[in-house]
Homo-oligomer: A and B are copies of this chain.
Amino acid sequence: MILTIERVGKYTIKFKNMPNIEGFAAVCGKKEGQGPFAKYFDKIFEDSKLGEDSFEKGESRLQTEAVSLAIKKSKIKPEDINIIFSGDLLNQCLSSTFGIKDFNIPFVGQFGACSTMAQVLSMASIMVASKAANRCVGVTSSHFCAAERQYRFPLEYGCQRFQTAQWTVTGSGAAVVATSGQGPFIQAVTFGKMVDLGVKDTTNMGAAMAPAAADTLKNFFEDTKTHPQDFDLILTGDLGVVGSKILKELLLKEKIILGDRHNDCGLMVFHREEQDVHSGGSGCGCSGLILCSYVFKSMRRKEMKNVLFMATGALMSPTSSQQGESIPSIAHLLWFKSD
């Protein structure tokens, strides 16, 4: 089978023979394991350090576990994987490095903040479709305790959280992308441009990310000549309450009405009120967790046939925040089909 690739419109890459999600896995922490989608997750860890001696090493273990499970569920071995694409939120992609290094598989580190799950699967799909690889893994993770102390405040400080703030998910999602199988399949990829409207508030990332999401989604619909009603689910990564509202408002101005088709991993992952997470979940583990569990499982059961998955990233760093810089954002999109 020859897999071929074509560019459609200005920004979209379409696959003539679609790469396949061969296997996938989602693992998470205790709080996520008490959320409404817990029954779809493969493993829930009660210990936030997963037996390691730091939160960061705990996060690395999440990636190790997710990749191991995704490989196992694909009924293959690590040596069958040609390349792993991985990224996370920590400085210099620390948890990816330490989570992946012992697999002994070629590794290409990715950074797209919370957009990373879409980015790693996009790269994996292109590699497989182009025959540059037979099989790739895409994986991301995030960890509440590691992210908070790096980007905001150490938890010990007991800082009060803003109502616009989101709760970084402790979790990891991994998927094996291969040439053939039972799906879901990847039909197209749209890479996003950075959008920077000057938002500087690190406790309101939804507002920073929504314009990037609107831009990528608009580009995708234009490129592919599709409409929201062509999809069973239009799933954003982690815009939360604030960002989801802004996204819909921005798209309305472009005469694009998402309606009930839209959902957001950040709104799904927790019982928002009861679990006290304010604007919702966030982190690249958030979209990774929901995609590599509920979404892919539902698609395999053909409960959903066409899904747009668009993870959004706030491209900030502790250094840029401390220097008073704005938060440029980005959103990458994949179109999944169940057959």
- Mark A residues whose CB is within 8 Å of B: 4-7, 11, 13, 54, 56-57, 82-83, 87, 89-94, 97-98, 100-101, 104-113, 119, 122-123, 126-127, 129-134, 150, 191-194, 196, 315-320, 323, 325, 328, 330, 332
A193 to B86, CA, bound (A): 13
| Partner pick for A123 among B5, B90, B123, CB 8 A cutoff | B123
Give how many copies assemble into the complex.
2
A82 to B196, CA, bound (A): 19
A129 to B91, CA, bound (A): 32
Which residues of B are found within 8 Å of A150, using beta-carbon distances? Answer: 319
Most buried by B among A126, A133, A315, A316: A315
| Partner pick for A191 among B98, B106, B316, CB 8 A cutoff | B106
Q: List 13 A-B contacts (CB under 8 A).
A: A5-B131, A5-B132, A7-B132, A87-B109, A90-B317, A90-B319, A97-B315, A97-B317, A97-B320, A100-B194, A101-B196, A107-B192, A108-B332
Which residues of B are found within 8 Å of A109, using beta-carbon distances? Answer: 87, 110-112, 119, 315
Main DSSP-derived SS at the A contact region = mixed
A150 to B323, CA, bound (A): 14
Asked if A130 and B134 make an inter-chain contact with CB atoms under 8 angstroms apart, the answer reads no
Chain B's closest residue to A194 (CB) is B101
| Partner pick for A193 among B13, B106, B133, B323, CB 8 A cutoff | B106
Asked if A134 and B93 make an inter-chain contact with CB atoms under 8 angstroms apart, the answer reads no
Asked if B110 and A110 make an inter-chain contact with CB atoms under 8 angstroms apart, the answer reads yes
Chain B's closest residue to A330 (CB) is B107
Asked if A320 and B7 make an inter-chain contact with CB atoms under 8 angstroms apart, the answer reads no
| Partner pick for A323 among B54, B111, B119, CB 8 A cutoff | B54
A325 to B98, CA, bound (A): 9
Chain B's closest residue to A83 (CB) is B191
| Partner pick for A56 among B90, B126, B320, B328, CB 8 A cutoff | B320
Which residues of B are found within 8 Å of A56, using beta-carbon distances? Answer: 319-320, 323
Asked if B319 and A91 make an inter-chain contact with CB atoms under 8 angstroms apart, the answer reads yes
Which residues of B are found within 8 Å of A133, using beta-carbon distances? Answer: 7, 13
* Least distance between A144 CB and chain B CB atoms (Å): 16
A108 to B123, CA, bound (A): 9
Which residues of B are found within 8 Å of A192, using beta-carbon distances? Answer: 106-107
* Least distance between A89 CB and chain B CB atoms (Å): 8
Asked if B7 and A107 make an inter-chain contact with CB atoms under 8 angstroms apart, the answer reads no
Given A92-B317, A129-B130, A150-B319, A107 and B54 contact (CB-CB distance below 8 Å): no
Asked if B317 and A107 make an inter-chain contact with CB atoms under 8 angstroms apart, the answer reads no
Which residues of B are found within 8 Å of A54, using beta-carbon distances? Answer: 323
Asked if B194 and A107 make an inter-chain contact with CB atoms under 8 angstroms apart, the answer reads yes
List the 6 closest A-B pairs by CB distance, nearest first. Answer: A130-B130, A92-B317, A91-B91, A106-B191, A109-B111, A101-B194
A315 to B107, CA, bound (A): 11
